[in-house]
Amino acid sequence: MKSTYQFNIVETEKELQDAMNVRRIVFVHEQQVPEELEIDEHDTLSCPTIHFVAYQGEHPVAASRLRPYEADIAKVERVAVLKETRGTGLGRELMLVMEEVAKKNSFHTLKLSAQLHAQAFYEKLGYVAYGEVFEDAGIDHVMMEKSL
């Protein structure tokens, strides 16, 4: 089955701004995360972080980033899907695209800090929770990881 979404590794300032706009809508506006916590030093084209943006037609509808963490470990961060496209499989497709890119970049393990309400979503993708629940930006999270 062909996806109705187009997944891009961010290469241009426009794509980066499209990704940031999705993140602002989901995290800053919906979840009330202060923008100064949401946007950080990893949100540029010049750093080794790999940014992703998904489009439905011309419209950006999801975004995420993959940040080198340790030698062969990357961290999945800022996974955001617009409300109107949640429940369509878009988040799952985005995660699978990120995993393929991680493998091509010789990462063997992915880590992420999942908001508790999203833990089951990541578990269905093979991620395993570890450690204690912790708060980040006023939202409960749990660390998770997956071997690729």
Does 2 have pLDDT greater than 70?
no
Is the CATH code 3.40.630.30 the one for domain 6-147?
yes
pLDDT at 144: 98
Q: What is the pTM of this model?
A: 0.94
For 8-57, how does the pLDDT look when each residue is reduced to its tens digit (9 = 90+)? Answer: 999 999 999 999 999 999 999 999 998 988 999 999 999 999 999 999 99
DSSP secondary structure of the chain: ---SSEEEE--SHHHHHHHHHHHIIIIIIIS---HHHHS-TT-SSSSSPEEEEEEETTEEEEEEEEEEEETTEEEEEEEEE-GGGTTTTHHHHHHHHHHHHHHHTT--EEEEEEEGGGHHHHHHTT-EEEEEEEEETTEEEEEEEEE-
Q: What pLDDT was estimated at residue 3?
A: 77
